[in-house]
Amino acid sequence: MNTKTIGVLTSGGDAPGMNACIRAVTRAAIYEGWKVMGIYRGYEGLISGDIKELTTESVSNTIQRGGTVLKTARSDEFRTPEGRAKAYENIKKLGIDALIVIGGNGSFAGAQALASEHDITVIGLPGTIDNDLYGTDSTIGYDTALNTIVECVDKIRDTATSHNRIFFVEVMGRDAGFLAQNSAIAAGAEAAIIPEDNTDIDQLATFIGRGIRKSKNSSIVLVSEKDGGAMHYAERVRKEYPQYDVRVSILGHLQRGGTPTAHDRILASRLGVASIDALKEGQRNIMVGIKNDEIVYVPISRSIKMDKPIDKELINVLTILSI
């Protein structure tokens, strides 16, 4: 395609590394002689026309910053065909040939709907701490969130050990247990309760049965936020195993913030440049991801419809190392 002007936006939950990605998209496009329009507040800004041209200077001194300089917002109006029609009018008015969307599952669903209803090329870049998008080994922000969780759990461990307590630490991830499982391994936790380990076996009973022994005077359990999260399991312990002193720590939004790690900055930079390469090749309606350290293109429809499997070997690793 003859791309001359691209639009870039961040949508959904913010993730560390989004700014590095915006920077890479902007500079790679300008390198090709293209014009870059920054769309503020996600799809909401696309509807309201909160759009400004970005220059090389616009993205200077941003690679190290968390959050997103383009801001983000949820947009109920964009969920409707009428809202998407308004967004497309602004796209046409500004002469935008392609839209680059940095976000997660919901953001990609919005991009797919826009592309199917109107003649616009969209490219998705996976920006979510949940790491739940099919077709990419890692998403922008996941590594930083993982490191933040591990740092917090290390501190909680000090208190748990001092007071002989069981701590249930709730982390984000929606329907995916990547953050809980991998942070549990990295922090030396005794267990992780995740949606993917959905056998008929009671995960809490299994943990109590093998995890509380005379040789351990405290335990840390990482819990995904789904199905009542940490509070649900803490209440069960209080009722079913009243002999244990139990506490809950919900890490919440602190997992989203902070300076992105080197890994996330490099990943974001590579994906941002690759999105411009994809447009040069005439790609349409794909997500740019990374597999085995190689850039890959995945149809957006597949990235949001297919479930990303967790490596069950990770569950075995944690079980073995928590003895």
| Positions marked catalytic | 130
Query: Any known ligand binding at 66?
Result: no
For residues 95 and 35, what is the distance between their CA atoms, to the nearest angstrom? 10
Query: Any known ligand binding at 45?
Result: no
For residues 153 and 220, is the Cβ–Cβ distance under 8 A?
yes
Query: Any known ligand binding at 283?
Result: no
Query: Any known ligand binding at 174?
Result: yes
Query: Any known ligand binding at 165?
Result: yes
Closest C-alpha to 176, from 129, 220, 239? 129
Query: Any known ligand binding at 53?
Result: no
Query: Any known ligand binding at 19?
Result: no
Indicate the length of the chain as a whole number: 323
Angle at 151 between CA 171 and CA 217, to 5 degrees: 85
Query: Any known ligand binding at 216?
Result: yes
For residues 12 and 21, what is the distance between their CA atoms, to the nearest angstrom? 15
Give the strands of the sheet with 294-299, arranged side by side: 51-54, 35-39, 5-10, 98-103, 121-126, 286-291, 294-299
For residues 302 and 134, is the Cβ–Cβ distance under 8 A?
yes
What's the distance, CA 256 to chain centroid?
9
Query: Any known ligand binding at 156?
Result: no
Query: Any known ligand binding at 18?
Result: no
Structure tokens of 39? 């769309």
Distances (CA, A) of 322 to 3, 183, 212: 54, 13, 10
For residues 77 and 172, what is the distance between their CA atoms, to the nearest angstrom? 26
Query: Any known ligand binding at 238?
Result: no
Query: Any known ligand binding at 103?
Result: no
Query: Any known ligand binding at 254?
Result: yes
Query: Any known ligand binding at 239?
Result: no
Sign of the alpha-carbon torsion through 37, 42, 48, 50: negative
Residue numbers in the known binding site for ATP are 13, 74-75, 104-107
Q: Which residues are annotated as a binding site?
A: 13, 23-27, 74-75, 104-107, 128-130, 157, 165, 172-174, 188-190, 214, 216-218, 225, 247, 253-256
Q: Which residues are annotated as a binding site for substrate?
A: 128-130, 165, 172-174, 225, 247, 253-256
Binding site residue list for Mg(2+): 105
Annotated binding-site members for ADP: 23-27, 157, 188-190, 214, 216-218
